Each structure stands twice: as structure tokens, then as C-alpha cells.
A and B are shown apart, each in its own frame.
Chain A
Amino acid sequence: MRKISAKDIQECVRRLAQKANFSLRADVQRAILAAFRKEKSSRGRKILSELLENARAARNDSLALCQDTGLPVVFLEIGPDVDLRGVDVAAAVQKGAAQGYREGFLRTSIVEDPLRRGRPKFGPCVLHTAFVRRKGLKVTILPKGFGCENKTQLRMLPPTAQKDCVEDVIVSVVKDAGPDACPPYIIGVGIGGTSDYACQLAKEALLRPIHKRSRLKHVAEMERSLINRLNRLGLGPMGLGGSTTVLGVNILTYPTHIAGLPICVNISCHVLRSASDVL
């Protein structure tokens, strides 16, 4: 058995919180550079080059890539060999996230009471846990900015909805977001499960490297089709026109009920941040 202590978890989350906020994910950086080379709009190219420069400034100066350091979402994938007896896992995660944010001079963006609001704090984060077959404890943090989180939509489609209808829903969500949520976007889509699980899948979809397509052939095809359709919208960087509206579309699916077809579209701004490690 692999004994993991509260300290190990706290330290890991602390480190990943800062890494995610200071260093743009390599796949996102590569996608922005590729888009910069292809983008035809000069204003679009200028904005994309600013984003690359911003990533360099953030990394060099240990500054947040974006002032919205998000609501951190932490995923724990617990393997069969992991021994957590006696460990207050949730507390260790919360402590690590808050410590990472505090020591990294990130932002207090979270209010204790969603209705009465009040003075914002560094936490708590949202924690998802899953039991998996892979050995070890995989820790992932996804600081989700709320400009784009606000554009999330859940639709409960009828089970007879065709593939085109599913694609149309995704396109309409991106159109609704328009220029407001910092395009070029990365689109995370969850299809299937229950309403809540579709939303979680949509978020998890953002963790997959954005150049990788689904392992399911028909889903990969849908992703490619959507990337083409969305980039033809002409929204462009910051919505000021251009051929780069999305950097990627990642879809995750799960079995669902005969009576339904839940679909959640979670939009990420171009500053898609996440970091992982295995303990």
C-alpha cells in the first residue's frame, strides 16, 4: 500500500495551485502560437501575440496569468494502492489550495455566502474525488475563471435528438458567449450521464490536452466538425474578428438514460489553466 499523508496532499495542492496560475499549459501555449501563425486578421494576430507575451511575463515574474485566479476545482483520482487511513483529505486539499493562493499573491475571489457575499477569501475550492484503476493518487487543480464559467449552459435534449442538433446546441452556446468571455475559447462538453454528471464531465473535458481528439471515432469526428464550424463564426481573438474563435473542442461522454440526452457546455477562456501530479 502507498501511504500518503495530509502533508503530502497539502504540499502537492499548494505547488500545483501556483504552477497552474503562473505557467500557461504547454498545449494551450502551442495552440495559441499555431493560431497566431494562421490568423489572418492583423488585430487578431496582435492580440494572440500579446497572449504569448503575457504567458512569458507571468512565468518570469511569478505573476498570475490572469487577475481572475478563479475558483479552484480540485480532482483527486484515488488508485487501489492508496492508503489514506486517518487522513482528513478534504482539509488537506483546502489548506494546500489556500496556502498556494496566499503565498503566490493570487486573488481572494471566493465569498463564503453566495447570497450575502461579504469579504472574499482564497477558498474554499470545489473538490471532486474518483476511485480509479490506475495506481497512486493523482491530484489535479483547475482554477476556473468566472467570466467564462458564467457562460456555461446545460441542456436536457430529448433522446431522439440527432447529432446535428447536439452540434447546434454547442455552437449556440459559443455564440451566446460571444466576445464577452475572452475568446479564443476552449470548449469542454459533457454528454450523457445525469444533469450533474454532464456538468462535471464538461469541466473534466478541459483537462484533456487540447490537440488530442476523443478516442471514440464518432466523437472525434464531432469535435473536428465543431472546431471547423466554430472557427468559421469569425468571432476571433477577444471577439474583434478573425479565424481563431476556438483553440479546441473536447467532448467526454458517459452512458445515459433511455429517456434523455443531457449535454453541458463549459466554456474556457484562452487562459485555460490546470496542473497535475501523481503522489
Chain B
Amino acid sequence: MSSNPERAGLRIPHSGGSKVVRLSTPLDLSVLSSLKAGDEVLLSGRVLTARDQAHRRFVGLLKKGSGLPVDVKGRIIYYCGPTKTRPGAIIGSCGPTTSGRMDEMTVPLLAAGLKGMIGKGRRSQKVRQAVKKYKAVYFLATGGAGALLSKKVRALRRVCFSDLGPEAVAELTVKDFPLIVGIDTRGNDIFK
């Protein structure tokens, strides 16, 4: 593996000791539960973007017992609010935002069947326990690399809450999106 930063990239994942797993959606729960904290993952398929305000609305709707505008069962939520899309482009810069802000709003979504989250940074004890309970996975993406990550997005479809601007919910189709397992289905946490 070349150690030249001019050439090193996301195209050729190198493990640094841990294994690289290809994961696709719809999620195969047996593959999901085989993942271990620290594993590198290349994700292909569809994820939903949602961050602070979309979470607030989701949780509000769940509390009222109403359905969500989009079913999160079996799906992955990416904590991401992209920049504007240039004409002819698929998406703008689109890296992860800090996950911790979503901690207080995460457990109801896991209870509703959410199976994966993508963000950056630590999660609370409560989230860790719920990830274990509901056999979900928390993934890390490299923060501050939004221009590079935009190359991994093949399509964007607007889903709901368009009034939230960059915080609107969209469905992204990604190809070989590079991730690291942060918390696995057994509740092991890369930061612990």
C-alpha cells in the first residue's frame, strides 16, 4: 500500500490491521451482526439523511403515535446536511455531523426499527445500550472530508421536511461509502 498522500485514497481501502467488509442495503442482519467495532466497511445502497431538526420531528411524531413520513425500519440514517448542489452535480459536500447531538432523540428511532446510524464522535451510554438491545450499528465517517465523500454518492432523492433546507430528509444512494464501525451490535464501542 502506497503511503504517499498524493495517491492514498478512499478508492483502495486499506485495513490498518482490521478487516474491510462490504455492506449493502437492504441490510442483511446477519452481516450487520458480524461487524465488530473498528472494522472498516464499504457501504453501497440507500441511506436517509436526518440531523437535529428532522430528529426532533421524528421523535415528536413517534410520541404522538403517528407514523413517520418515511419508514426507518431496517434502514440507516446518516447525520448529514449537505451544501447546495451545483447544476449538473448529484450532491454538494456531504460529510457527517457530530452524532452526540442526536443522542437524546435516538432511542425511539432504534425502537422503531432503525438499524444503522452514520456520524462522527462519541455516543451516550443510553445510545450504546439501545444499539445493543435493538441489534443496530453505529458507523463513523471521516469528518471534514465532505468534498471527497460526495464522490461516493450516486443519487439523491428528496423525501420530506423540505422547509428545513440542508436539514431536510433525503435518500442518498451511495457506492463504496467508507465507514468504520463505531458501536457494534454487541454494544462494543471503538471509543471505550
Contacts and interface: CB of A to CB of B under 8 A. Distances in A.
A63 B5 contact: no
Interface in B88-111: 92-95, 97-100
Given A67-B94, A147-B98, A180 B121 contact: yes
Interface of A: 33, 36, 41-43, 45-54, 57-58, 61-69, 105-109, 117, 119-120, 147, 150, 178-182, 238-240, 269-271
B121 A181 contact: yes
B33 interface: no
Contacts of B3: 45
Q: Looking at chain B's contact residues, is the secondary structure mostly helix, strand, loop, or mixed?
A: loop
A69 B147 CA distance: 12
Contacts of A65: 93, 144, 146-147
B169 to A, nearest CB: 15
A57 B97 contact: no
B151 A57 contact: yes
9 contacts: A50-B10, A50-B148, A63-B146, A63-B150, A67-B81, A105-B83, A120-B166, A147-B143, A238-B120
A83 B147 CA distance: 40
Contact of B92 (A64, A181, A269, A271): A64
A113 to B, nearest CB: 13
Size range of the chain B interface in the assembly = 35 or more
B17 interface: yes
Interface string B40-82: 0000000000000100000000000000000000000000111
Contact of A57 (B82, B86, B147): B147
B60 to A, nearest CB: 14
Q: Looking at chain A's contact residues, is the secondary structure mostly helix, strand, loop, or mixed?
A: loop
A73 B54 CA distance: 27
Contacts of A106: 83-84
Contacts of A119: 163-165
Contacts of B14: 42, 46
Interface in B151-169: 151, 163-167
Contacts of B163: 119
Contacts of B142: 47, 50-51, 238
Nearest to A63: B147
B147 A49 contact: no
B148 A54 contact: yes
A165 B158 CA distance: 51
Contacts of A63: 83, 86, 92-93, 146-147, 150
Nearest to B149: A54
Contacts of A51: 142, 144-145
